[in-house]
Structure 1
Amino acid sequence: MLGALRCMTNYKDEHIFGNSAVLMVKNNCHLGIIPIDKKLVFWFLSWPRPYEDFEVSRHPQLLREAALDQIKDFPPEAIELVKNAGLGSIIYTRIKFRAPWDLLLPSFREGTITVAGDAMHVMGPFMGQGGSAAMEDAIVLARCLAQEMRNGNGGGLQLQTSVGMAFDKYVRERRWRILRLSMQTYFRQLLQSTLPLPVKLVIVAISIVLFGRSFNHAQYDCGRL
Structure 2
Amino acid sequence: MKLKEVANAEDIVIVGAGIAGLATALGLHKKGVRSLVLESSPELRASGFAFGTWKNAFRALDALGIGDRIRTEHVQAQALRVFSPSTGEVAQELDLTAPGKGGPHEICCVKRDLLLRALEEELPRGTIQYASKVVSVAEEDGTIKALQLADGSILRTKVKIGCDGINSVVAKLLGLAKPSYSGRSATRGLAHYPEGHGFRPNFLQFNGHGFRSGMMPCNKTDIYWFFTFSPSDKDEGVDESPATMKQFVLSSLRGLKVPAEVLAVVERSQMSDVLVAPLRFRPPLSLVTASISRGCVCVTGDALHPMTPDLAQGGCSALEDGVILARCLGDAVLGIGSHGVEDGLGEYARIRRWRSVELIGTAYLVGLVQQSDNAFVSFLRDRVLSGVLARRLLKLADYDCGTL
* Range class of TM-score, shorter chain: 0.5 to 0.7
1:95 alignment partner AA: L
Matches within 5 A, 1:160-199: 162-194=340-372, 195=374, 196-197=376-377
RCO higher in structure (CA 8 A, sep ≥6): 2
- Cα distance 1:58–1:181, how it changes in 2: closer, same or farther (>3 A)? same
What TM-score, normalized by structure 2, do the two folds share?
A: 0.42
Q: Which residue of 2 aligns with 1:120?
A: 304
Match of 1:71, SS?
A: helix
Q: Which residue of 2 aligns with 1:22?
A: 204
Q: Which residue of 2 aligns with 1:157?
A: none
The answer on whether the counterparts of 2:188 and 2:272 sit within 8 Å (CA) in structure 1 is no
1:148 and 1:115 map into 2 onto residues whose CA distance is 17
1:106 alignment partner AA: A
Q: Which residue of 2 aligns with 1:94?
A: 278
1:183 and 1:46 map into 2 onto residues whose CA distance is 18
Q: How many residues align?
A: 212
Deviations 1:162-209 (A, max 9, x none): 4344323321232122223333434433442335248769x96xx89x
1:148 and 1:15 map into 2 onto residues whose CA distance is 49
Show structure 2 runs of 5+ residues with no match: 1-182
The answer on whether the counterparts of 2:310 and 2:367 sit within 8 Å (CA) in structure 1 is yes
2:399 and 2:272 map into 1 onto residues whose CA distance is 40
Instruction: Calculate percent identity across the aligned residue pairs.
Output: 28
Deviations 1:61-88 (A, max 9, x none): 3322332343342436144433333357
Greater per-residue strand proportion: 2
Show structure 1 runs of 5+ residues with no match: 154-161
Greater per-residue helix proportion: 1
1:53 and 1:130 map into 2 onto residues whose CA distance is 27
After TM superposition, the structure 1 stretch with the greater mean CA deviation from structure 2, 49-58 or 142-151, is 49-58
After TM superposition, the structure 1 stretch with the greater mean CA deviation from structure 2, 26-35 or 140-149, is 140-149
1:12 and 1:138 map into 2 onto residues whose CA distance is 34
Match of 1:129 among 300, 313, 337: 313
Match of 1:192, SS?
A: helix
Q: Which residue of 1 aligns with 2:188?
A: 6
- Cα distance 1:124–1:83, how it changes in 2: closer, same or farther (>3 A)? same
Q: Which residue of 2 aligns with 1:31?
A: 213
RMSD: 4.2
After TM superposition, the structure 1 stretch with the greater mean CA deviation from structure 2, 5-14 or 59-68, is 5-14
2:202 alignment partner AA: S
1:151 and 1:213 map into 2 onto residues whose CA distance is 37
